[in-house]
A and B are shown apart, each in its own frame.
Chain A
């Protein structure tokens, strides 16, 4: 509850700063007083449309005679979310599997962990077009190619945090399981995995945002599909004539991200009882 209140508070604060800066700009005529220096960014409606204009833009038709911008953006969000969620789920499972493999076999850890770490040094912008193009050559629909970007961004934090979490039980707990002659799989499922859940969810929350951003970035280079990536590209080109549309699209994209993170947080609440949750 406190988090919801503070979230709304911060949102209002941001709106106030935005509009305050515009008011200041109007009062000063766009120049810092006593100097010839222009205010940057320029506080005019061209560069910084009013917040209410952005919101209003959402409810106007995106194209003449077409659906409203918001419904077009929601369709685009759903398209992008499909890729992001698919990639997120695959990445989550892959990351979990790798974490388990690494904790079970030190050899696997030594052999593969360096590659897992190295894989993350490839810039996503460089990787995205390659993956999408190769996905297309393999006959995958483009949204699945985009999902691979999300997978790539998700599996790493999940693998690392799973590994940490599986190693987190105290030595005394491990010894207790040994004293009860527990088999390795029993120790894994009854001790290590439950202990790792808070760690895994921390990674999942980070990855949820990353997989949406990744999906949007994956859609950008080719500008294909009906996702948020293409919408952002289009409105970017139309920025000079209608800036509030781009801002509105950015707004919707971040709401989509928040929505996804909220879903993951909800899952966390259902899985981990209140007393165990690490508040963050």
Chain B
């Protein structure tokens, strides 16, 4: 106990018309509460698949997976995690605040409490002035922030993020990273974060998990020794660069 995610020899094979695809083989991974873990690896190495297994959006073919001390299915039913993926996927018939209220609605939280919580979440992502905006009136970065507010609305112990900033420009991306770190420090959420960007992984994480493909597997797990709070200075820190290099080498297979 104690770990929020514990995977033991987890494998996932997709059966398709053209045969079987071994997406993940023998994944061993434990994540402690409060960690910020990035998954990084070449395209198709199974990062999204691993995240979906944890979220019970897929089931493992073999192995044992425990999330928050329960089966992934039970954790999902208990609303133990929030998801934020590359597409914001806001419902365009709902305003920003109504989108954030959705998970609360599905949990049967009362109307007033819902409003209050959703307002608080939107203020946290600095969209306090846009509570009543329609999704199509928001920029891509703002939509993504609404999606993050929605994922956090239930104060889940675990946040699953799959390239949430992938579609954003560099400037927006950096400020969103900053904001995410602040939120992570303010709440006691554990975050699993999939990214293709080495600097992003290093800047955000307490640990970077490096994966390789064919079959998808974990090749390295490297702690990031950078102090918090992190900011502009962090990106100029010498240790930031040495960690970048280490991760890059791990990705190349050294």
A interface with B by C-beta (< 8 Å): 170, 172-173, 175-182, 186, 190-191, 194-195, 197, 272-273, 275-276
Residue pair A186, B57 in contact (C-beta under 8 Å): no
Residue pair A179, B83 in contact (C-beta under 8 Å): yes
In the complex, which residues 68-109 of chain B have their Cβ closer than 8 Å to any Cβ of chain A? 76-79, 81-83, 85, 87, 89, 91-93, 102-103, 105-107
Give CA–CA (A247, B127) in the complex, Å: 60
| Distance between B70 CB and nearest chain A CB, rounded to angstroms | 13
A-B residue pairs, 5 tightest by C-beta: A172-B89, A194-B93, A275-B136, A180-B106, A179-B83
Query: Which residues of the partner chain A approach B178 to less than 8 Å between Cβ atoms?
Result: none
Residue pair A181, B87 in contact (C-beta under 8 Å): no
Residue pair A176, B89 in contact (C-beta under 8 Å): yes
| Distance between A237 CB and nearest chain B CB, rounded to angstroms | 52
Q: Which residue among A172, A179, A181, A182 has the maximum number of chain B CB atoms within 10 Å of its CB?
A: A179
Query: Which residues of the partner chain B approach A176 to less than 8 Å between Cβ atoms?
Result: 83, 89
Asked whether any CB of chain A lies closer than 8 Å to the CB of B216, the reply is no
Query: Which residues of the partner chain A approach B93 to less than 8 Å between Cβ atoms?
Result: 194-195, 197, 272-273, 276
Query: Which residues of the partner chain A approach B85 to less than 8 Å between Cβ atoms?
Result: 172
Q: 16 extra interchain contacts, Cβ-Cβ under 8 A, other than A170-B87, A181-B77?
A: A170-B89, A172-B89, A173-B89, A176-B83, A177-B106, A179-B76, A179-B81, A180-B102, A181-B76, A190-B102, A190-B105, A194-B91, A195-B93, A273-B93, A275-B136, A276-B92
Choose among A173, A179, A197, A275 the residue that contacts B57 (Cβ–Cβ < 8 A): A179
Asked whether any CB of chain A lies closer than 8 Å to the CB of B134, the reply is yes
Residue pair A181, B106 in contact (C-beta under 8 Å): yes
Residue pair B91, A275 in contact (C-beta under 8 Å): no
In this complex, what residue of A is CB-closest to B55? A179
In the complex, which residues 89-137 of chain B have their Cβ closer than 8 Å to any Cβ of chain A? 89, 91-93, 102-103, 105-107, 134, 136-137
Choose among B78, B79, B103, B137 the residue that contacts A275 (Cβ–Cβ < 8 A): B137
| Chain B interface residue count, Cβ-Cβ cutoff 8 angstroms | 23
Query: Which residues of the partner chain B approach A195 to less than 8 Å between Cβ atoms?
Result: 93
Give CA–CA (A262, B12) in the complex, Å: 55
Query: Which residues of the partner chain A approach B83 to less than 8 Å between Cβ atoms?
Result: 175-176, 179
Query: Which residues of the partner chain A approach B137 to less than 8 Å between Cβ atoms?
Result: 275
Query: Which residues of the partner chain B approach A182 to less than 8 Å between Cβ atoms?
Result: 106
Give CA–CA (A177, B106) in the complex, Å: 9
Contacts A176-B89, A179-B57, A194-B93; A186 near B134 (Cβ below 8 A): no
Query: Which residues of the partner chain B approach A276 to less than 8 Å between Cβ atoms?
Result: 92-93, 136
Q: Provide a sorted-by-A list of 23 A–B residue pairs whose CB atoms are within 8 angstroms.
A: A170-B87, A172-B89, A175-B57, A175-B83, A176-B83, A176-B89, A179-B81, A179-B82, A180-B102, A180-B103, A180-B107, A181-B77, A181-B78, A186-B106, A190-B106, A191-B91, A195-B93, A197-B93, A272-B93, A273-B134, A275-B92, A275-B137, A276-B93
| Distance between A189 CB and nearest chain B CB, rounded to angstroms | 11
Residue pair B57, A178 in contact (C-beta under 8 Å): yes
In this complex, what residue of B is CB-closest to A182? B106
| Distance between A3 CB and nearest chain B CB, rounded to angstroms | 21
Query: Which residues of the partner chain A approach B105 to less than 8 Å between Cβ atoms?
Result: 190
Give CA–CA (A172, B134) in the complex, Å: 19
In this complex, what residue of B is CB-closest to A193? B93
| Distance between A89 CB and nearest chain B CB, rounded to angstroms | 24
Query: Which residues of the partner chain B approach A275 to less than 8 Å between Cβ atoms?
Result: 92, 134, 136-137
| Distance between B124 CB and nearest chain A CB, rounded to angstroms | 19
Give CA–CA (A19, B151) in the complex, Å: 65
| Distance between A6 CB and nearest chain B CB, rounded to angstroms | 26
Give CA–CA (A275, B55) in the complex, Å: 33
Give CA–CA (A179, B95) in the complex, Å: 21
| Distance between B92 CB and nearest chain A CB, rounded to angstroms | 6
